[in-house]
């Protein structure tokens, strides 16, 4: 069980704890604003536990972030305790993948939430383009989020999520319609955190999305995307990188992180 009051304090939520669309929208916006996407533990080879107590300790009590399986496992349990009907689905990331490249595995967890007979897509763990709003799965029309517009195209085996970038629709990830069992998540989590072919094993990746700005970090390149402003990018040295983790991703830098940050910068140069 998740301690809901601790979770609400972590994301600064003070609204009702009722299974209504307004509640889902409110906590879906606050979660990625206060709990960052980050893969520090993968790079430090600490392993990623999907045990709810471990996730609660890390993301809530220790003020850390995590990647999709941690974020959406936590969010799913919160929604269930609030009384929502929710299922876990698996998606395949196809964002800007070259047309001639073979598909990668389905290693992204998303959630399907039923509210008053309608299914909604919830996803608080997709890094730099994380949803800040749940999306209705019952329509293919564009749905405007706090930052970008999204739309969902149904196909024979699920849905394709698309995002509007510079007035062009681009595929983001393909969602399979069959609900998953916990063992499916364990297998995908192992690949993502332990396989030498996983991008999370080779790159520092962080993201946070507030109502005003998207913050993203790929290795030592920091990107700030204001909702109504000019995109800013910076290449950071190790000390600047440590400062950015605290200022933009609200993480307290541990002493054993510094050698990793130095390696990240050295590799990028």
Tokens 């008053």 sit on residue: 116
Q: How far apart are CA 200 and CA 42, in angstroms?
A: 7
Query: Catalytic one among 28, 71, 108, 147?
Result: 108
Instruction: Spell out the residues 6+ positions from residue 98 whose beta carbon is closer than 8 angstroms to its own.
Output: none
Taken as a whole, the chain contains a residue count of 269
Question: Annotated catalytic, 51?
Answer: no
- Residues 207 and 38: their CA atoms lie apart, in Å, by 7
| Catalytic member of 31, 41, 68, 71 | 68
Q: Is-catalytic flag, 123?
A: yes
Contact between 245 and 206 under an 8 Å Cβ cutoff? The reply is yes
- Cα–Cα distance, 106 to 221 (Å, whole number): 27
Distance in angstroms (rounded) separating the CA atoms of residues 114 and 112: 7
Q: Indicate the pairing of strand 118-122 with strand 168-176.
A: unpaired
DSSP state, 180?
A: P
Beta strand extents in 116-203 (DSSP E only): 118-122, 135-136, 143-144, 149-155, 158-165, 168-176
Alpha-carbon span 247 to 249, nearest angstrom: 6
Question: How many angstroms from the chain centroid is the CA of residue 224?
Answer: 17
Angle between helices 68-82 and 4-11 (to 10 degrees): 120
Nearest to residue 76, comparing CAs of 208, 182, 226? Answer: 182
Catalytic pick from 31, 71, 123, 147?
123
Residue numbers annotated as active site: 68, 108, 123
């Amino acid at each position: 069980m998740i301690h809901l009051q601790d979770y609400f304090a972590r994301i600064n939520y003070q609204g009702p704890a009722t299974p209504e669309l307004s509640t889902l929208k409110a906590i879906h916006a606050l979660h990625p604003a206060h709990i960052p996407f980050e893969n520090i533990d993968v790079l430090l080879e600490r392993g990623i536990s999907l045990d709810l107590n471990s996730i609660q300790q890390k993301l809530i009590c220790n003020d850390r972030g995590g990647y999709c399986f941690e974020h959406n496992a936590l969010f799913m349990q919160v929604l269930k305790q609030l009384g929502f009907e929710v299922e876990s689905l698996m998606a395949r990331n196809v964002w800007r993948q070259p047309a001639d490249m073979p598909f990668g595995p389905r290693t992204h967890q998303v959630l399907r939430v039923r509210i008053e007979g309608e299914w909604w897509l919830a996803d608080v763990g997709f890094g730099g383009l994380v949803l800040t709003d749940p999306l209705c799965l019952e329509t293919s029309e564009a749905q405007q989020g706090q930052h970008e517009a999204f739309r969902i195209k149904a196909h024979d085996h699920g849905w394709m999520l698309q995002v509007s970038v510079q007035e062009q629709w681009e595929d983001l990830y393909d969602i399979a319609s069959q609900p998953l069992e916990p063992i499916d998540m364990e297998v995908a989590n192992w690949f993502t955190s332990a396989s030498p072919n996983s991008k999370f094993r080779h790159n520092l990746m962080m993201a946070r999305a507030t109502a005003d700005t998207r913050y993203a970090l790929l290795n030592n390149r920091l990107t700030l995307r204001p909702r109504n402003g000019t995109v800013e990018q910076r290449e950071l040295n190790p000390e600047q990188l440590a400062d950015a983790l605290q200022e933009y991703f609200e993480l307290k830098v541990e002493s054993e992180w510094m050698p990793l940050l130095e390696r990240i910068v050295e590799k990028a140069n």
